[in-house]
Structure 1
Amino acid sequence: MFSSPIGRLTVFFIVLFGFVLGPGPEPARADIGAFILIDAKSGNVLEENNATRKWYPASLTKMMTAYVTFKAIREGRATLKSAVVQSKNSLSEPPSKMGFKVGTRFTIETALKIILIKSANDVAVALGEAVSGSEAAFIAAMNAEARRLGMTNTRFTNPHGLPDNGQVTTARDMAILAMALRKDFPESKDFYNHPGIRFGKKTLRSANREFLLRVPGANGMKTGYICNSGYNVAASVSRRGRTLIAIILGAGSGLERTAFARQLFDKGFKKRRGGRNVASLTGTSGNPPANGYCRRNRSPGAKAYMARFDMKNEPSGGFLFFRSANDKQLKKVDESGFTLANGKPDWAKILDRTLGPRRVAYRPLQVGLGNPTGSPKASGSVAGAGIPASDIPVPSANPVRRAQTQIREKLQNTAQGSSSGAISQASAAAIPQATADASTQAAPGSIFRKGLDFTVPVPTPSPRK
């Protein structure tokens, strides 16, 4: 066979394709749990892996919170100027949060900007209470919209995405939601395409800011993180009159999800046609990751980032696109180009080389309480919302959060001079000092509860997150 012209030609093409394709396409890296890339207009799937595997949405949940709110506005049950009130229930949510005092009133417009840019959990609950009359009724409305949109593997138990293993989705379902949010409410783009907000003298950065500031055509949408999900993102990019949407679940760090999204879009815009429509992906391809996913799927480190995402060394073809960085590739990485004099990674250079230089200046959106003019016309009951009571998820109690709340209340009573509320030093040590300081009163005229606002805890600035 090999001595004949046809045989030699066959061997030539085998060698040629082996050289171009490498050892053959591999499944996506283990440190990306699931992803999908779709055309925002047609819904055609350009790339996907594990798109129907169940996963925890984390703060991507807030896209549905926004969707239900925009629908209430369109149906005349609320306006952007309608009042949202910080309740005791909403204030009890853990950070990220704004921490307005109970009774503080602000507009739905302000609430939407805060949840989509800053991702404040307490405001998400307060918004749900305003729109539907109660948190439970709002959660029921979220699930009703998920069913109507065809999000077949999605179940919501809260409006923010904080840990609850009963709250699940898939990359496919989140892509359907992201596409619907853009299509049904194009005005939503004015809320999620900002890299940060400025509230008074405080500047609050979006976790999606580097993507928005560096990737050509980037215009949204939402990030999310809890330990059990890893780093998630719903992202959108428009170039040459075409918009693509990517959902990435389970990255090992904020930079990885952003760099992977950038790479996904760059390759995706080179494809003119997709295969199946996102709605045609049915069934379930797996269960969510086991508890503690973030501890098993750690950040790969600067050298591995550069081996995988350095735009100077990316192959021009699309076949090596989702390949992991192996030992051979790591050995080829020259660390001198992105290492500081003290030997630590130069993250500014790494961002430039994996995402590109900043194309626009960082300009946070100015946000205030607004001037609320009234309350939404919420039914206040599940029956009034036309949703069966059996469809209302009952969130499981969080004993840690309950214990912290009880200790906080005792600390507050102690601070006010109540001897009946005294607690031991051991009990006080059971919660962070920042939480213990929550009992102190804010400065006169402040809308924030001191120690409970967005300044607690204060994370160390890092370009990787």
Structure 2
Amino acid sequence: MAARKSEDAPAKRATHTGAKRATAKKPSVAPKSRGARTAMRAERKGGVVRSAGPKVSKAAGLPTRKAAYVPSEPRLSYAQAYGLHQAPDPLDLKSSVALVIDQDTNEILFSKNSQAVLPIASITKLMTALVVVEANQSLDEVLTITEADIDTEKGSHSRLAVGTQLTRGEMLHLALMSSENRAANALGRHYPGGLPAFVEAMNRKARELGMHDTRYVEPTGLSSRNQSSARDLATLVNAAYQYPLIRELSTSPEYQVAVGRRHLQFRNTNGLVFNPTWEIGLQKTGYIVEAGRCLVMQARLAGRQLIMVFLDSAGKYSRIGDAERVRKWLLEEGHGAVTGQPHMPRVTS
């Protein structure tokens, strides 16, 4: 392979007799000062620039001020802004909202702020999958990632470059398992009538299921206007669980797709699917700043089929920790769980 010329390589000098020394052309715009460069870096990082105190100019002996980057205050999630994190609960969960119900009897075993309506981030993709599956579109049809699938809402990264071609089934797999935003958006674009019709189908399905606290504006969850409550999401999990394909794809630990001559390996965003002590039938994670860390699951615990919802958990791994706390509580309180007849008290806060 021919070596590529480095953009940082110095320009060659003229060496023939009588040739003038090559000189670099002066830029038409003066280079930015150190303070200006600091301000630009701060703006890109979402911070602010503050003065770090007086500094004496060596050239003129005049007092100047040295610019310093100071990180801006972190933005609050909706639940934090509403004060929901301050609500106490017996399990000391880090999630602002939690709900655990028996899937077979609808008995509420644990509830914390379960009626709060909040952004749900990529939990949205469960409804995206439900609409795609019920539309009976071919899973073998090849879809193409285009400029329209680039995230302009949050500027998130994707490994699916523009021009990537995958089947609808592969796109669905990546959207559910590794929360691929471009894949989810492409699924919506290729719905009959395009994105507007797809979003309308999402909201229509929510109404059919009785999810009265729920509203969707796009299929990825990147918009904070996609909102729902824990009770509605438990309904969604139960509806999605009825489809074996959604169960299989959402709980797949890893998946590899061929993109041109390359093979890309993707992993599940929920670490619990790699834990053999968990029996998970369906799951989906989600995160944007406005929603915090979110997790919904269907799992068999203490002899029961349960649906668990955790919204706005503070900390990268706290939603997993909350699921483990609930699991431990169920096993400890579930006297007789081995026989399949656990006794689990209700906890409501």
Same fold flag (TM > 0.5)? yes
Question: Which residue among 205, 223, 227 is the counterpart of 1:163?
Answer: 223
Change (3 A) 1:265 1:127: same
1:127-174: CA deviation from partner (whole Å, max 9, x where unpaired):
01112331111111101101110111011011011133x221111111
Cα separation, 2, equivalents of 1:53 and 1:109: 34
Measured after TM superposition, the shift of residue 218 of structure 1 is: 2.6
Q: Which blocks of at least 5 consecutive residues in structure 1 are unaligned?
A: 1-24, 273-316, 324-465
Tell me how far apart the structure 1 counterparts of residues 151 and 96 of structure 2 sit (CA, whole Å). 31
1:311-332 deviation digits (Å, cap 9, x = unpaired): xxxxxx988x999xxxxxxxxx
Match of 1:172 in 2: 231
1:392 corresponds in structure 2 to none
Q: Which residue of 1 aligns with 2:253?
A: 195
Letter in 2 for 1:140: E
Structure 1 distance, partners of 2:344, 2:254, is 34
2:249 matched to 1:249?
Answer: no
Alpha-carbon distance in structure 1 between the residues aligned to 2:327 and 2:94: 18
CA distance in 2, matches of 1:30, 1:187: 32
**Relative to 1, partners in 2 of residues 1:105 and 1:203: Cα closer, same or farther, differing over 3 Å?**
closer
SS of the residue 1:113 aligns to:
helix
Extract unaligned runs of 5+ from structure 2: 1-87, 336-342
- Deviation, 1:246, is 0.3
Say which is worse superposed, 258-267 or 90-99, in terms of deviation. 90-99
Which residue pairs with 2:126 in the alignment?
A: 63
- How far apart are the structure 1 equivalents of 2:274 and 2:238? 18
- Amino acid across the alignment from 2:202: M
CA-CA distance at 1:224 after TM superposition:
0.4
Residue 108, structure 1, aligned to residue 171, structure 2 = no
Q: Deviations over 1:271-325 (max 9, x none)?
A: 59xxxxxxxxxxxxxxxxxxxxxxxxxxxxxxxxxxxxxxxxxxxx988x999xx
**Structure-2 change in CA distance of 1:173 and 1:134 (3 Å):** same
| TM-score where L is the length of structure 2 | 0.64
Greater strand fraction, Structure 1 or Structure 2: 2
Percent identity, please.
26
User: Are 1:97 and 2:155 an aligned pair?
Assistant: no
Structure richer in helix, relative to its length: 1
- 1:297 corresponds to: none
Pairwise mapping of residues 266-305 of structure 1 onto structure 2 (< 5 A)? 266-268=328-330
Residues 117 and 195, structure 1, Cα contact 8 Å, conserved in 2:
yes
Instruction: Report the TM-score when normalising by structure 1.
Output: 0.49
Task: Tell me the alpha carbon deviations over residues 425-449 of structure 1, each in whole angstroms, 9 at most, x when there is no partner.
Answer: xxxxxxxxxxxxxxxxxxxxxxxxx
AA at the equivalent of 2:148: N
Count of residue pairs the alignment pairs up: 248
Change in 2 beyond 3 A, CA 1:113/1:88:
same
Q: 1:131 aligns with which of 169, 186, 191?
A: 191
2:112 pairs with one of 49, 53, 67 = 49
2: CA distance, partners of 1:182 / 1:218: 11
How far apart in 2 are the matches of 1:66 and 1:26? 33
Residue in structure 1 matching 2:299, options 233, 237, 240: 237
1:259 aligned to 2:317?
no
Q: Distance in 2 between the 1:182 and 1:90 partners?
A: 27
Given candidates 194, 210, 219, the residue that maps to 2:281 is 219
How far apart are 1:267 and its partner, in Å? 3.1
For 1:228, the equivalent position in structure 2 comes to 290
Letter in 2 for 1:187: L
For residue 29 of structure 1, report the CA deviation from its aligned partner: 4.3
Question: Counterparts in 2 of 1:447-458, with a 5 A limit?
Answer: none
Cα deviation for residue 116 of structure 1 reads: 0.5
Q: Work out the CA distance in 2 between the residues paired with 1:203 and 1:229.
A: 27
Q: 1:126 is aligned with what amino acid?
A: A
Give the whole-Å Cα distance in 2 for the aligned partners of 1:194 and 1:209: 11
Q: Aligned in 2, Cα 1:241/1:84: closer, same or farther, shift over 3 Å?
A: farther
Whole-angstrom distance in 2 between the partners of 1:45 and 1:96: 38
- Indicate how the Cα distance of structure 1 residues 196 and 96 shifts in structure 2: closer, same or farther if over 3 A, else same: farther
SS of structure 1 residue aligned to 2:216: coil
Instruction: State the Cα distance separating 1:27 from its structure 2 match.
Output: 6.0
Of the three residues 32, 40, 43, the one matched with 2:103 is: 40
**Matches of 2:311 and 2:127, distance apart in 1:** 17
SS of residue matched to 2:238: helix
Q: Could you tell me how far 1:212 is from its partner in structure 2?
A: 3.9
Q: Deviations over 1:32-62 (max 9, x none)?
A: 2111111223332211111110111000000
Contact 2:299–2:307 (8 Å) recurs in 1: yes
| Greater RCO (CA < 8 Å, at least 6 residues apart) | 1
For residues 109 and 344 of structure 2, what CA distance do their matches in structure 1 show?
12
What's the CA shift for 1:266? 3.9
- Alpha-carbon distance between aligned partners in 2 of 1:268 and 1:244, rounded to the nearest angstrom: 11
Alpha-carbon distance in structure 2 between the residues aligned to 1:113 and 1:57: 20
Tell which deviates more after alignment, 87-96 or 142-151: 87-96
Deviation at 1:242, TM superposition (A): 3.5
- Could you say which residue in structure 2 is the equivalent of 1:410? none
Cα distance change of structure 1 residues 264 and 134 upon mapping to structure 2, 3 Å threshold: same
Q: Contact (CA 8 Å) 2:272, 2:278: kept in 1 or not? A: no
**Aligned partners of 2:90, 2:303: CA distance in 1, in Å?**
31
In 2 relative to 1, CA 178–137 (structure 1 residues): closer, same or farther, beyond 3 Å? same
State the match for 2:16 in structure 1.
none
Residues 203 and 106 (structure 1 numbering): CA distance in 2 closer, same or farther, change over 3 Å?
closer
Instruction: Check conservation: 1:225, 1:232, Cα contact below 8 A.
Output: yes
Q: Note the C-alpha offset of 1:105.
A: 3.1
